[in-house]
Structure 1
Amino acid sequence: MSQLRVGAAQRVFIYPTRDVFFACLYPLKGVLYFVAHPFLYPLVRARLLPAILLSTFVLMNLFFFTYLPQVAFLALFHRTGSAWVNGTFLVLGEGAAITAILFECFLVDESQVDIFDAVLVHKGYEDLVKQYRPVSEDSLNNPVLRLGKPTKSSVYGPFSLRQIVEFVVLLPLSFVPYVGIPLFLLLTGYRAGPLQHWRYFKLRDFDRKQRNAFAKTRRWQYTWYGAIYLALQLIPVLSMFFLMTAAASSALWAADLETQRRRQEASVFEAARYTDNPEGNAV
């Protein structure tokens, strides 16, 4: 009986908590992976400077024109200190949203696709990428140079009006002292997390029903992953850099999911073969 209880506790609490913790680490792994692999640098070099300049310009204007009025408004609901803290996060969130809309939709998505595909190729999953673009042989020893032009429509993350509406609707959570910002990140991360794997879902040829089922079984993992991803977007000036590293992090997660899936399929195949031919497997 005690063994059954331990097994139930592992399935209900320990394993899900472990999986959520590992999911939270992927955005940070993406940063480290990006920094440690120079073959990714050319994909962002030409766009990083204008991204930083745009982010700086947007934040300077927001802090100059809107910060004090928003802090004064928040002070109606907060104690003295928390109004300044929540006001800062509110302006940073507004800046990240405006910069993403101005920059991501026009210039970043193609680079994110290339980063995602290059990481998958580097991890040995070029068979997935080849469905959407040619991948040359390994003689170049550079995953980025191995990538050909996409032969099908390739989008890293689709434009989501629903996500933008939820972002605006949930902004008033910043009125809640101390816990408002974490709640805002979690609730918006609920939507943002699965969207970071849109490219992976496309490479797997998932339809809408399959995407929803896949995300549902990993709902808390995607929610916390999305929350950490959005928190990095709030870091001044570097939000566009973390937008790029997010593509690396989502690809690393996709590669790990592929490894697990293929191992499970191999195990099922071996078990079925042993069952179908027990004499042939006997020693």
Structure 2
Amino acid sequence: MRSPLEIARTTFYRPTRDNVVASLYPFKGIIFFMTHPFLYPLAKARLIPAVLLSLFILINLFIWTFIPQVAFLALFHRGGSAWVNGTFLVLGEGAAIMALLFEAFLVDETQVDIFDSVLVYKGFEDLVTDFRPVAAEGDDPVKRLGKPTRSSVYGPFSVRQIVEFVVFLPLNLIPYVGVPLFLFLTGYRAGPLQHWRYFKLLGFDKKQRNAFVKRRTWQYTWYGVVYLLLQLVPVLSMLFLLTAAVSSALWAADLEIERRNLAVRIQTGQEYRDDPEDTV
């Protein structure tokens, strides 16, 4: 019997098909966003201030902190790796600052609208209607959405995630492996948070949510790694923050199909489960 450490190493170095599929959803979200114009109005009002804010933060960070940090990293690095790690370190610092200033206060409502409209487009109006009215007819999923009737949050403001993000930043001091290790450890936390809205729509309590995530730990981790990697892309990170809501909704729609098919098979006796929580 393999040890948990051996399983973890195998899953990290040789990810399974499900993990690879999960890691591709952020890119699917970008493609879906670009090819479905009904989402454009939701992003239009946010992108200009987001880009300006991103530019302001990154320019100041690179002017005032980049060279000092590279000089410090050069004490531990050989060759040009100090410049590479220094770049990721500054981009990570910028992502943390922008998460505090932008994601927590300016984008959450837009992400909720994007997430809900994609679910409606995919035919899952029944999930959304407990939290907001959805018009029965119409070609534009965004225009079919009414105002939320219950508290609607795309992702909770996680102090723990921000703290971990800052605490793990020094991993970039480690030559070559520091950046991948930083992305992996922070992705472990970031992945499940992208489905907070989905769990709320399902009415999951903490126990159900944790059980659902536990069975897909590595899938959420790999999804989170790619999500965070996109957040390190200068300026475009703000666009990717919005396309992340698209990707998480696309994944939620696929998981919902799988979940409902499993429930039907169990109800019809085609598949047996000891634990009723397996249906979630």
| Fold shared by both chains (TM-score > 0.5) | yes
CA RMSD of aligned residues (A): 1.6
Letter in 2 for 1:192: A
SS of 1:66 mapped into structure 2: helix
Larger radius of gyration: 1
Count of aligned pairs: 260
Distance in 1 between residues matched to 2:117 and 2:205, nearest whole Å: 24
Letter in 2 for 1:169: V
Distance in 2 between residues matched to 1:268 and 1:64, nearest whole Å: 60
Letter in 1 for 2:17: R
Equivalent in the alignment of 1:18: 17
Distance in 1 between residues matched to 2:212 and 2:268, nearest whole Å: 25
> Offset at 1:262?
1.1
Equivalent in the alignment of 2:75: 76
Equivalent in the alignment of 1:178: 176
Distance in 1 between residues matched to 2:123 and 2:201, nearest whole Å: 14
Instruction: Tell me which of 250, 253, 263 is aligned to 2:251.
Output: 253
> Offset at 1:268?
2.5
Report matched runs for 1:183-202 at 5 Å. 183-202=181-200
1:212 equivalent to 2:201? Answer no
Distance in 2 between residues matched to 1:102 and 1:91, nearest whole Å: 16
Letter in 1 for 2:98: T
Letter in 1 for 2:149: T
Report matched runs for 1:224-235 at 5 Å. 224-235=222-233
Q: Deviations over 1:167-223 (max 9, x none)?
A: 111111001101100100000000000000000000011111111111111000000
> Offset at 1:83?
0.2
1:94 equivalent to 2:93? Answer yes
Report matched runs for 1:114-129 at 5 Å. 114-129=113-128
Equivalent in the alignment of 1:269: 267
Report matched runs for 1:37-52 at 5 Å. 37-52=36-51
Distance in 2 between residues matched to 1:184 and 1:229, nearest whole Å: 13
Distance in 1 between residues matched to 2:159 and 2:105, nearest whole Å: 16
Distance in 2 between residues matched to 1:149 and 1:119, nearest whole Å: 16
Letter in 2 for 1:168: V
Q: Is the 8 A contact 2:188 2:224 kept in 1?
A: yes
> Offset at 1:16?
7.0
Distance in 2 between residues matched to 1:112 and 1:47, nearest whole Å: 11
Distance in 2 between residues matched to 1:68 and 1:206, nearest whole Å: 47
> Offset at 1:80?
2.8
**Which has the larger displacement, 55-64 or 259-268?**
259-268
Equivalent in the alignment of 1:167: 165
Distance in 1 between residues matched to 2:163 and 2:262, nearest whole Å: 39
State, as a whole percentage, how many aligned pairs show the same letter: 71
Unpaired segments of 5 or more residues in structure 2?
1-9, 271-280
Q: Deviations over 1:100-133 (max 9, x none)?
A: 2111111100000000000000000000000100
Q: Is the 8 A contact 2:96 2:166 kept in 1?
A: no
SS of 2:16 mapped into structure 1: helix
Letter in 1 for 2:216: R
Q: Is the 8 A contact 2:69 2:86 kept in 1?
A: yes
Equivalent in the alignment of 1:280: none
Compute the TM-score of the two structures, normalised by the length of structure 2. Answer: 0.90
